Structure 1
Amino acid sequence: MKLDHPLIAERAVARHCQELLGSGPGIAELVPALSLIGERLTRALAAGLARLSGGRAPVVSIGMPMDTTLGAIQAELDTLAMHSLLALGPDGHPALATFAAAPVFRLVDRAFGGKGEVPDPLPDAFPLSAELLLGRIEATLAEALGTALGGAQPLRVVPCRRETSLRQLDPFAMNADLLQLAIEVEEEGAAPWSLTIAFPIATLAAVATVPRHRARGPRRDGPADPAAEPYASLPLSVSAVVIDMRLDFARVAALSAGDVIPVAIARAVPLRVGGRTVATGTVGEVEDRVAIQIGHAF
């Protein structure tokens, strides 16, 4: 394995030594831990990108962690991409950030006053302008990830090396178990762009705080407290039903571009979790974004 960063090089032997690592937490324990890290990363990255561009903070969203391998990541990439090796913490635990070519060229075009157009066909290599922009985004991502992992005392995250070839970068074994976060960034007036971060299980076990279950105490009667663990950290999909209308089949079948359908927005917009209404509120606006003010919670 080729490792240029001294922190990673010093750790290379210990990372593969089970006697030193111990059993550690498994994927089932690391998935919720990484979900919490992802939530903190959305806030830190949005603030960092706002400082980078000097504008309004973008909307950053992160999907649920997905298990994968380096081989699977390589198989999914059919065009040019840039891969960045990150060293996490004082021991330099590796992580991998991947930037697909199309979003990078879109950002470069916008940086030079364009509309965010992507060259067709894509070139075989990134120009210097793209390399420079990637370096700035990479540094912003490293800082945000350090904040997400360390909280009040950010973890040191260092960008080590970038390559367009995963085989040349050789960040970790091709069949190593990884957990991957997909990140999407939406900026006003521009198409969204995305990147991914992949963490080996050994890296997450070393840098993530995994909640441990407390020993069982006396049984308590009454309902569980939703604000207490393990329930408080569970992610829930919340939907706001702004419009709920009925159209007959003939009307739907006849719809075409340019048709206007009059709709009425209810005064009390229901918020639903799992198909069940948990609250109602009114539609408004906060900082140029649509918002709902809760009027009644069940």
Structure 2
Amino acid sequence: MSVREKSVKAMKPPAAPSTEAAEARASLLLRKAEGSYAFPALDSVAVQFARSLRDLIRALGAPTVQVERGETATISFADWAAASAPAIFWRYHAPPLKGPLLLAAPRPLLLQLVDIFYGGKGAPAGEREELTDAEDRFAARLGRDMGLQLAAAWRGKLGLEPELDCVTCDAAKLAAVRADDELFVQRFVLRGAPFEGRTISCAYPLAALRGIAGAEPATEIPGAADPAWASALHKTLREVRLPVRSVLARPEISLVKLLALEVGDIIPIGMPRHVPVTVAGRSFALGSIGEANGNAAIMIEHIEKGPNHD
């Protein structure tokens, strides 16, 4: 080969990346045509988040509720806020997302969840603009829990770790989002009494989603393909101890009676036929209260199905 041929070969541009590699890098954002976008990763995120919402709400005291994926829509922030009202909003800081991640739920739904959490039946409460201190604390706790569920839903796709930074009933206080900003909104519909038809929505600013088009998908766990490593991990996990919890009753009394309580007073409670059993904070089963070997016990009557129905 001549010196000239070697020089020409050295000056050739590097080969373009393969189609497969390009598709992998764009797995979070697919440009279908000029000005038209699709977000394939969000479909699987929504499926996982719907299951997590179901488990979360059941653990709060509504063991029969179901959560269905509703319609998705592209809508301006102003229209979304107006359609959600009266609502409570949660805003999250979630890098590498170039903008906030938002959740919204009807304010009556929050009041029903608070009522159930403290032992009620979730009867719809009268509408009011201000929340009590207890309701504010519950809303913040619920927001943090939903943020953890969102992080789990994104795991394996992108390392989103949403951090709750605002809880408000006033959409105008959701700074960093302008009225004309477009949002990609996913809706999750609750089924079953007393929440039938209530909707929780998750909104991603379109500009933020476009900003992660080139983000690298989360990498797999090193060594996961090694049979010996996988066997050792499986054996270790089988020995992990998890907290099992069941709430037998949540009596509710007025503040006046609470302050008047003395040693020897009795608080009446109603024992439900079935009680929820949670493991590490997640709904696991329903059981009935009884006795075994002279000890109080719970007999498992129904085990909840997991994400893969196992």
1:160–1:207: structure 2 CA closer, same or farther, 3 Å change rule? farther
1:111–1:54: structure 2 CA closer, same or farther, 3 Å change rule? closer
* Contact 1:58–1:185 (CA under 8 A) maintained in structure 2: yes
* Contact 1:25–1:205 (CA under 8 A) maintained in structure 2: no
Alpha-carbon separation, structure 2, partners of 1:71 and 1:208: 25
* Contact 1:95–1:199 (CA under 8 A) maintained in structure 2: yes
1:287–1:38: structure 2 CA closer, same or farther, 3 Å change rule? same
Q: Mapping of 1:226-241 within 5 angstroms?
A: none
Query: Are residue 161 (structure 1) and residue 176 (structure 2) matched?
Result: no
Q: Mapping of 1:200-219 within 5 angstroms?
A: 200-207=205-212
2:89 aligns with 83
* Distance apart, 1:125 and its partner CA: 0.8
1:126 aligns with 131
2:51 aligns with 43
Alpha-carbon separation, structure 1, partners of 2:83 and 2:97: 30
Q: Mapping of 1:238-249 within 5 angstroms?
A: none
RMSD over aligned CA atoms reads 3.3
5+ long unaligned stretches in structure 2: 1-28, 217-301, 306-310
1:168–1:153: structure 2 CA closer, same or farther, 3 Å change rule? closer
1:48–1:111: structure 2 CA closer, same or farther, 3 Å change rule? closer
1:49–1:124: structure 2 CA closer, same or farther, 3 Å change rule? closer
Residues 168-189 of structure 1: CA deviation (Å, up to 9, x unaligned): 22241110111101112346x5
SS of corresponding position for 1:64:
strand
2:117 aligns with 111
Residues 249-278 of structure 1: CA deviation (Å, up to 9, x unaligned): xxxxxxxxxxxxxxxxxxxxxxxxxxxxxx
Alpha-carbon separation, structure 2, partners of 1:147 and 1:86: 15
Query: Are residue 70 (structure 1) and residue 74 (structure 2) matched?
Result: no
In the alignment, which of 176, 181, 195 is matched to residue 181 of structure 2? Answer: 176
Query: Are residue 191 (structure 1) and residue 199 (structure 2) matched?
Result: no
* Contact 2:97–2:212 (CA under 8 A) maintained in structure 1: no
Alpha-carbon separation, structure 1, partners of 2:214 and 2:69: 19
In the alignment, which of 106, 117, 124 is matched to residue 100 of structure 1? Answer: 106
Corresponding pairs, count? 188
* Distance apart, 1:57 and its partner CA: 8.1
* Contact 2:93–2:163 (CA under 8 A) maintained in structure 1: yes
* Contact 2:61–2:116 (CA under 8 A) maintained in structure 1: no
Alpha-carbon separation, structure 1, partners of 2:62 and 2:93: 29
1:71–1:197: structure 2 CA closer, same or farther, 3 Å change rule? same
1:69–1:152: structure 2 CA closer, same or farther, 3 Å change rule? closer
1:176–1:58: structure 2 CA closer, same or farther, 3 Å change rule? same
1:90–1:33: structure 2 CA closer, same or farther, 3 Å change rule? closer
TM-score by structure 2 length?
0.52
TM-score by structure 1 length?
0.54
* Contact 2:99–2:176 (CA under 8 A) maintained in structure 1: no
Alpha-carbon separation, structure 2, partners of 1:205 and 1:102: 34
Larger radius of gyration between Structure 1 and Structure 2: 2
